[in-house]
Amino acid sequence: MPSFFSSHSVLVIVVLVFAAMLLLIEALHMVWKQYKGPEAKRLERRLQALSAAHDSSTPTKLVKERVLSDMPLLERTLQRMPRAHQLDRFILQSGLEWTVSGLLLSSAILFAFGMLAAVTLHQSLELGAIVGAVLGSLPWLYLQRKRYQRLSLMERQLPEALDLIARALRAGHAFSAGLQMAGEELAEPMAGEFRLVHDEINYGTSPQQALSNLGERVPVTDLRYFIVAVLIQRESGGNLTEMLGTLSRLIRERLKLNGKIRVLSSEGRMSAWILGLMPFALAALLNLLNPEFMSALWTDPIGITILKWLAVLMVIGVLIMRRIIRIRV
């Protein structure tokens, strides 16, 4: 191997490539911030959300009005892709100030960085594709995690919101006034959603359409029960206060039961973590005790094939264990 491909030179190249990728990401962020900063974007999203009542004959959904990209050409391209709107709704449910183009661009940059690192280190393209796929999936995993945390928090806030609306109805306030009180007194993120429903109603959207928009933005089963109860009461009548109180008690009991199940299934989750991490711990220990014995796994073609199949089997095993320990109430 030529002298300029020494280990020191390779390390310098990797550092330079990493620095270049960071500078590229920072440049893209500066361009994005220059054309549309967070404050302007938040105001624009608010105005677009309130424009759902622009055409009363054709119900307008909030997610269709959101900007998918800050670049006009890419915006027009994404608007013609149905999957882009579904992805935008997923981002909206996570509560992050992201765009569809930003998510796709960050995944592409991380994937390219993994491929470039593999080529720089003289590794196979297959390994580079695997590393790039893992890096490219990081923004998606983070997005999914934030969405799960936000929806779980809103599910826990829902009983308090229902009790607050029920108390407002008992005091003689209108249903829209109860929504306004929930938007003012509850904590985020549930307060913001109720404020948006109240604003939509004030700007001319029918309560049915405003509640339907809420159900699309927040795919929580208990919240949909609340929406169905309100819609049925508006169509056929009934004691909405009593219905909300009963629904609040049922949700609290279900959350309490869910907490007990999580405690009882904690042993299974711990076993899943141990079984998932044990192969890596044993591989590190064997490599420390006998490096020559373990080096055959990534130097010999048969060993590389074994590692590939082991990775596939481990992914399948993790998915099976997640299905076993996940109990829905």
Question: CA torsion, points 168, 160, 158, 192, in degrees to nearest 10?
Answer: 70
> What region, left, alpha or beta, does residue 122 occupy, with left being phi > 0 and alpha being psi -120 to 50 degrees?
left
Given a contact cutoff of 8 angstroms between Cβ atoms, the answer to whether 212 and 59 are in contact is yes
Question: CA torsion, points 249, 254, 255, 259, in degrees to nearest 10?
Answer: 140
Q: What is the pLDDT of residue 23?
A: 66
The residues, ordered by sequence, that sit 6+ positions from 101 with a Cβ below 8 Å of its Cβ are 68, 69, 70, 71, 74, 75, 78
Q: What is the CATH number of domain 150-253?
A: 1.20.81
Count the alpha carbons within 13 Å of 6 in the hemisphere toward its beta carbon. Answer: 4
Listed residue (93, 97, 64) closest to 79, CA to CA:
64
Listed residue (243, 183, 174) closest to 207, CA to CA:
174
Listed residue (45, 53, 1, 99) closest to 209, CA to CA:
53
Ordered alpha helix ranges (H), 121-239: 125-170, 175-185, 190-202, 207-217, 221-236
Q: What is the pLDDT of residue 185?
A: 93
Query: How do the pLDDT tens digits run along the chain, 329 residues long?
Result: 444 445 555 565 666 667 667 667 766 666 566 555 565 566 566 555 554 444 444 444 443 457 777 777 777 888 888 788 889 999 999 999 899 989 999 999 999 998 888 888 887 787 788 888 989 999 999 999 999 999 999 999 999 999 999 999 999 999 999 999 999 999 999 999 999 999 999 988 889 999 999 998 999 999 999 999 999 888 887 888 999 999 999 999 999 998 888 888 788 788 888 888 888 898 888 888 888 888 888 788 888 888 888 888 888 888 887 787 777 66
Two tokens at 187? Answer: 């904590």
- How many Å apart are CA 164 and CA 218, to the nearest integer? 19
Q: What is the pLDDT of residue 121?
A: 82
User: pTM, whole model, 2 decimals?
Assistant: 0.70
Rg of the chain, C-alpha, whole Å = 26
Given a contact cutoff of 8 angstroms between Cβ atoms, the answer to whether 93 and 77 are in contact is no
Q: So where are the chain's domains?
A: 3-145, 150-253, 266-325
Given a contact cutoff of 8 angstroms between Cβ atoms, the answer to whether 212 and 147 are in contact is no
Two tokens at 163? Answer: 């009790």
How far from the centroid of its chain's Cα atoms is residue 92's Cα?
Answer: 8
